[in-house]
A and B are shown apart, each in its own frame.
Chain A
Amino acid sequence: MQTVKMVITGPFSSGKTEFIRSISEIEVVSTEREIKEDTAERSEKDQTTVAMDFGRITVDDDLVLYLFGTPGQRRFDFMWEILAEGMLGFIVMVDSTKPETFREAKSILETFRAYAPTPYVVAANKQDREDAWAPEDLRLALRIEPSVKLLPCVARDRESVRDVLLELLYTILEEMEMD
């Protein structure tokens, strides 16, 4: 049995858990627990991913794709490198409605690029919301190079998630062909 791993990362509350939940064939194994401190983060959502989320897509008897979601809060960032180990590629989720998180998203992107030179795409999540920044505006704000795919996404919509995953796989294939 061969297993292939992809990592879904991004700032706190950017939609990583929801993304995996939309496409995983198993109920997502999630390590969310209540945020105890009375922090600003508490008003955003009551639970946060501590160690990782885990989803699975079985291709056939010999091949399984695992999706790992990273914890969004910086204080759990010691888990990131462990999760990044051996990944085929990664997706950086950005909450398009929260410009205050863009800098953090960029910093996470750079951190993951440093872990491994694997292909990646950026998903501009929550594009169904009125106040969402357009992907091209996000590209400017995040200073993402034109060669990097920045894709519109709605993490709770299975088709949208599927399209993002496909784009990442196409990127991986293109890079393989270039080598």
Chain B
Amino acid sequence: MPLHGNLRDFSATQVFNLINLSGRTGTLTIFEGIPTGEKDGMDKEKEAPGAEKAKVIFKTGKLVHALLSGQANDLIAVLNKAGKLTDQQATIMRDRAKGTGDKALAMRLIGANYVSQGDIVSSIQQFVLDVVYNLMSWHSGPFRFDDNSLPQEDRIYVPIDLENVIIEGARRLKKDEELLSAIPNLDVALKFPENPKEKFKGIHLSVEEWRVVSFVNPKNTIRAIAKANNMSDMEIRRIVYMLEQAGLVEIIAPAAGSASKSSSTSSRRAKAQQPIKKDVVSKLIDKIKSI
């Protein structure tokens, strides 16, 4: 029988923990939540599963694969994302390797000295972890875990210890919350400080950081910069925070009224304070008394 629920009641961290500890094999699918218009006993709107958003695959309690819907996840895409294959190489490979499974393709790439076995393993692990850390920040969405169900795809599964993923994921969530409270509003702009040339002297920035810096202009909001660079909200926050802390950019205060959207911490608080009905507590009391 599949395990199902909603991430707002049982977080991804908790689901992973259960799968890890019970050593399960199967596929966890997370769906888009479609409001049904009905309320549950906690006065929360019920959600029916809609389109698939992500799949996470486990083998005997270990994480082996994860993918977001609509995201290319074949070996070429994984190696391209990891920077092991250039865009051009990926295009050529995709054309030549039509119909070749990931395992056979991996052998060919290793044989042709394009990549090493270690490159493949680390790229797959990184790809899977990126997906999992992303979905660990989702606060709602129906999910279903189907026991012993594995996709019939020719994929390379690299087992990853879930315990470390859970701990690291939780750390990242906490860090993300700090970023959210530092930069709650993305509809603000950036500007350079008074003497930018002096400040940028001797500073080594990553490619992503330079891409953001190149868009710094009081007319561009942080949200617009993120969109132009195809970055997620958290990625842009991380970079802007670093640049701001280094004194390389200044955040221009938002106009009155447009300020701070609630952080996930405050939404958690609100969630914690949702009313629960008295009859639920009475039922619990009766049950505990009978134990």
Contact = CB atoms under 8 A, between A and B. Distances in A.
B225 interface: no
A82 B285 contact: no
Contacts of B278: 173, 176-177
Contacts of B170: 51, 78-79, 82
Contacts of A166: 285, 288-289
A117 B273 contact: yes
Contacts of A59: 283-284, 286-287
Interface string A60-92: 101101000000000010110110111110000
A173 B281 contact: yes
B60 interface: no
Given A4-B280, A172-B281, A86 B271 contact: yes
Interface of A is mostly: mixed
A75 to B, nearest CB: 10
Contacts of B18: 29, 54
Contacts of B273: 116-117
Nearest to B279: A63
A50 B167 contact: yes
Contacts of A177: 278
A40 B197 CA distance: 53
Contacts of A144: none
Contacts of A101: none
B21 A176 contact: no
Contact of A50 (B22, B42, B163): B163
Interface in A7-25: 23
Interface string B24-38: 000000000000000
B65 to A, nearest CB: 22
A51 B269 CA distance: 21
A166 to B, nearest CB: 5
A169 B281 contact: yes
